[in-house]
Structure 1
């Protein structure tokens, strides 16, 4: 029987993939690739693109195509069997990529090509792909003595295992706690959709009453709406201590030792390659040049935002005192009273907006916005091989010709990792037969699912999240670059990769776009002008506090990776110091935010979380051109598509930005868009 992971399809055959398929398929591909690479490096004679880079690209892309659906299923349909197979393959893949990065013959072949006349005749994308490969060889320890190369491989393998375990612990801790409610009075203040979701969660567990989980939609509904302060406190303490040594699950799925080992090994890895810290190592592939530049950037934004944040917190404390006689504002009160103050001040709430953002209408509007800006059409594909009934598939086309595909998995459920993300399923590249492999994207969210006859209703914040991830997707899908290593999001400096995603969020606030993405789920009427005016008036509500919160995460991440010393640095102490410097509100001592900070301990944002704000400067400034020329100006949209989205990682991000904007970025637009003067 054939293994579906080894078959070449336009789209993965999800229903035919089983945990038993995974390891044999990956083993077979790794074995084949090693043999072909040995043949490739043993052959003598001069090398050109087709005989070297294109061959390697083909081998690695076929491996990636087999692994991408497995990695995706592990995130969205997690099971014990799949997790075991996934974890058995991780060290093998890590070992393979490390071998590749330390293959002397391959390195010399790339270097010879870079030094040859043939290099000059290559396209800019091909040259960048070769330049990046040579840089990555050096960052893989190509110049290290044999014993140190071996140690590098061991470090990468172990880090791969640890970061996966960190993520699994967060998932298990999130799924491992729930609150069973039998007294309906505890649900006072809950919106109807949250009550329905809690009732369904109880039914799934064959319990009477209601169940509140730590999945983010359920948790956020409690923190925003629950009048029962003790319920908010209970949920807060459970959520903020997940996977740690504190709280109701103390010691279960504890990430403490895993964090320490990850940081120890990252320092060793960086030093092995000649860097002072892991932060220095991280910056070798980013726009920012030095740790001082990054820290200065974060601290400057924090200084400019602090006065506004302090004022906002003072107003919130005063409000809670006035309406409820609350003389001490706690961490579990911030979101609740923030929502009440927003409602009192602007007569608008996320809850009031929800009926106007049914998911079908939002998607229709999102596709209309992208279509008008970037001349692309979207069509839902109904007959496709899926992993879950909630998943959808869309075909993107221009002038009647398919150019990409996009999966969307929108709703929260058990065995699915929390948060929202975009990942590449397949990358655009030129095939051996001269045809073009079309890019395919995964878009994953965790919205509250539909209940009964009612469609899924999104908050405006969730609409913004969808636009954000779709911006990443467009970067991946609208590329015109045919070299896999710099196609779409590949090869893009990490602190520039958020530019398209944050850029697209701006349309969630524009009246012309809101007319397309909103429509009452019962009547179809667009968002009333009165509500729109209130929503826009409330746009900058608590933006100073939100800015400082993101800067707190960014500074903690960067300082931790820049200053960490094995056996000396205490992670909690670093976070406490950063909070004392940046935050205007201190959480309880037991808060263990870092134990669930998957971005930096299980994702690609280690010493790179600052990238969100760094790229937001780029995105705000890029959008300011649309503000000047018209938010649906087709010429401006085409210019952004051609200068940024189509170029992938083929050129330096600053060069691409200047090509679009006509100058280097300024921070002014970000401060203005955040309401910070």
Structure 2
């Protein structure tokens, strides 16, 4: 086909997609989807006549738009952004039309009431239940005037969120700091210096080019002896996309508008707050339950965090001669204290985690847990850095495939994530296997050497692979509940956080290491020091996440407010739970993409909620160390394979044989004492 976005015959044709393909493809697919909706309104209300045609049209539209959204995140260009922004409102409008269509709503109700429904599979029952719920949450029961307003709000929110994310990306990409003398960069690791020097050379400039992307920013904060340099980059980073940045990138007005619209949307549906609306699709029942959960964890963690802070201040004063511990000192002093206390540095550890060995180790864990093999595969890709793999079972049959895009670059959104490109589906001609994206922002190898990853980056890779496995290992054939579709948002992080635990098992960790220069595996003595330091500053790390989660819930607990009120809420939460209070010009909220541009609004607590679940799941492996394959098989069949076909709590209880308990979470985090 001339338009690659309309070709669903195989893998996406990323090498062929151009910005000018976007609008014609989306308009064609929207027309087809609307025709399918019109036919479905009068079709026989049974699965094959009603659901399947809707799924066919919706899937084609979702797959095409998913490719556009993915490219916008990993290979952003002005032309692609323009095409994305021009078509986003069209998708939002169609989504609103679908969720407010009373004829479709009545068809779903007929399907639910039909005698055949009682004998339907769990997956099909769940699809119908979720659809009826989503009609209510989508405004189907509103009066016509309210429906119109609801749709307009949804459309504007989608546009605002995209603009928010683009402002952050532009702010990060726009910043550069040029340093001519290497002496000013004392303490920085050699690979970071080499990358900064190469970046300057690429622009025909002498010296070094520093930026705000994580492979540069984090090492400066952790290792640069030059305190003024740390402060300069810190200030540039935490003021991105705020009123302290370029006016055209200021997210202040977007934040105000997003919060106001969310509250109005929730009230239209009869909810007291956006927090209540958000929890309608989650495991947690009420904002009060979430708040109690977070405050309970804060009460347990804050004493440990205060102790962490006191030790850091004492070390900074007595050993490093710093009378005050500023925000741009924390990572640096923490690294020095860790080195002094445990006799190793993250940079020393990093030299052992070479990319080929890390990937081999990750794939080895997958094989040992689930008896599946990861094999190299070929596909059209969007950038030369991207690799492609297939996942096969013991008989060699294809389970799924995934793209792996590891390195940071300009035009690529920061952070790490998994997204689905094509979901599993049972079709008349066989099973459609899942296809996913795994995206990170690590530093690439320099001077002909393979990339090396910090241990934290290894954990990030395992985390995203956990999300990928949740999508790849589903055995549900209905699109609406296959993979992570239909899974309560506060349970989605369970498989990803579970995978992180294997980055702390000695035999597995040693197998994924080979020193960049010598090829030697990680020494046991160094691992023992890493393990001793595992919960180093875990109190501070925990309250930092609780700070974000409480800020999110409180922000969405009432009417929208001005940007000054947003700052006041954040300041109040920090006084309550934080031990590291940033300077007054810190504008973290202006970059908080999870809640303003992602799916975590009134849901950031999900990370801690799911961490309790994941720790309890991993405890099952600890309790049966000689029976890993059997436990892995139970995890696969009772949680991963089930997707959203039954409630997450039922999945967990089927695997564990009981409801979740907090003990393993506290023990793993060093917070039980």
- Measured against the shorter chain, the TM-score band is over 0.9
Distance 1:9 1:39 in 2: 24
SS at match of 1:444: strand
Match of 1:256 among 239, 249, 252: 252
Q: CA deviation at 1:617?
A: 0.2
The answer as to 2:6 corresponding to 1:2 is no
Match of 1:80 among 54, 78, 81: 78
Q: CA deviation at 1:453?
A: 1.4
**For the Cα contact (< 8 Å) 1:373–1:632, is it kept in 2?**
no
Match of 1:599 among 594, 603, 615: 594
1:295 is matched with: 291
Distance 2:529 2:200 in 1: 37
**For the Cα contact (< 8 Å) 2:256–2:563, is it kept in 1?**
no
Equivalent residues in 2 for 1:60-209, closer than 5 Å: 60-209=58-207
SS at match of 2:48: coil
2:300 is matched with: 304
**For the Cα contact (< 8 Å) 2:362–2:512, is it kept in 1?**
yes
2:360 is matched with: 364
Q: Which digits, 9 at most, give the CA deviation of each residue in 1:552-571, with x for residues without a partner?
A: 00000011001344469710
1:323 is matched with: 319
**515-524 vs 497-506, which deviates more?**
515-524
Match of 1:470 among 447, 465, 474: 465
Q: CA deviation at 1:252?
A: 4.3
**For the Cα contact (< 8 Å) 1:404–1:439, is it kept in 2?**
yes
Match of 2:310 among 308, 314, 317: 314
Match of 1:480 among 467, 470, 475: 475
1:38 is matched with: 38
SS at match of 2:307: helix
Q: CA deviation at 1:120?
A: 1.3
Distance 2:105 2:287 in 1: 29
1:552 is matched with: 547
Q: CA deviation at 1:107?
A: 0.6
**For the Cα contact (< 8 Å) 1:102–1:141, is it kept in 2?**
yes
Q: Quickly say closer, same or farther: Cα 1:285–1:73, change in 2 above 3 A.
A: same
Match of 2:630 among 635, 658, 673: 635
The size of the alignment, in residue pairs, is: 671
Match of 1:446 among 441, 445, 456: 441
Q: CA deviation at 1:216?
A: 1.2
**658-667 vs 197-206, which deviates more?**
197-206
SS at match of 2:490: coil
**For the Cα contact (< 8 Å) 1:173–1:252, is it kept in 2?**
no
Q: Which digits, 9 at most, give the CA deviation of each residue in 1:502-552, with x for residues without a partner?
A: 000000001121122222233332210100100100000000000000000
Distance 1:568 1:636 in 2: 49
Distance 2:133 2:438 in 1: 30
2:609 is matched with: 614
Structure 2 length normalisation: TM-score? Answer: 0.98
Q: Quickly say closer, same or farther: Cα 1:179–1:162, change in 2 above 3 A.
A: same
Match of 1:540 among 532, 535, 538: 535
**For the Cα contact (< 8 Å) 2:108–2:128, is it kept in 1?**
yes
1:648 is matched with: 643
1:56 is matched with: 54
Q: CA deviation at 1:585?
A: 1.8
Match of 1:416 among 379, 399, 412: 412
SS at match of 1:16: coil
Structure 1 length normalisation: TM-score? Answer: 0.98
Distance 1:522 1:340 in 2: 24
Distance 2:158 2:469 in 1: 28
Q: CA deviation at 1:632?
A: 6.4
Match of 2:345 among 344, 349, 373: 349
Q: Which digits, 9 at most, give the CA deviation of each residue in 1:161-207, with x for residues without a partner?
A: 00000000000001111111011111100100110111122123221
**For the Cα contact (< 8 Å) 1:306–1:544, is it kept in 2?**
yes
Q: Quickly say closer, same or farther: Cα 1:540–1:566, change in 2 above 3 A.
A: closer
Q: CA deviation at 1:208?
A: 1.2
Match of 1:211 among 202, 209, 215: 209
The answer as to 2:522 corresponding to 1:521 is no
Q: CA deviation at 1:242?
A: 0.5
**For the Cα contact (< 8 Å) 2:252–2:563, is it kept in 1?**
no
Q: Which digits, 9 at most, give the CA deviation of each residue in 1:401-452, with x for residues without a partner?
A: 0110000000001111100000001100112x23111100100000001102
2:218 is matched with: 220
**For the Cα contact (< 8 Å) 1:244–1:252, is it kept in 2?**
no
Q: Which digits, 9 at most, give the CA deviation of each residue in 1:57-99, with x for residues without a partner?
A: 1111111111111111101110000000011110000000110
Distance 1:255 1:206 in 2: 33
Match of 1:384 among 374, 379, 383: 379
Match of 2:565 among 543, 562, 570: 570
SS at match of 2:163: helix
Q: CA deviation at 1:39?
A: 1.8
**254-263 vs 118-127, which deviates more?**
118-127
**For the Cα contact (< 8 Å) 1:552–1:578, is it kept in 2?**
yes
2:506 is matched with: 511
Distance 1:64 1:112 in 2: 26
Which segments of structure 1 move beyond 3 Å, counting only runs of 4 or more? 564-569
SS at match of 1:430: strand
Unaligned stretches of 5+ in structure 2?
none
**For the Cα contact (< 8 Å) 1:372–1:632, is it kept in 2?**
no
SS at match of 2:557: helix
Distance 1:490 1:13 in 2: 24
Match of 2:455 among 451, 460, 464: 460
Q: CA deviation at 1:322?
A: 1.2
Distance 1:607 1:73 in 2: 27
Q: Quickly say closer, same or farther: Cα 1:568–1:342, change in 2 above 3 A.
A: closer
The root-mean-square deviation of aligned C-alpha atoms, in Å, is: 1.1
Distance 2:2 2:38 in 1: 26
SS at match of 2:341: helix
2:26 is matched with: 26
SS at match of 1:520: coil
Distance 1:372 1:130 in 2: 36
**For the Cα contact (< 8 Å) 2:482–2:643, is it kept in 1?**
yes
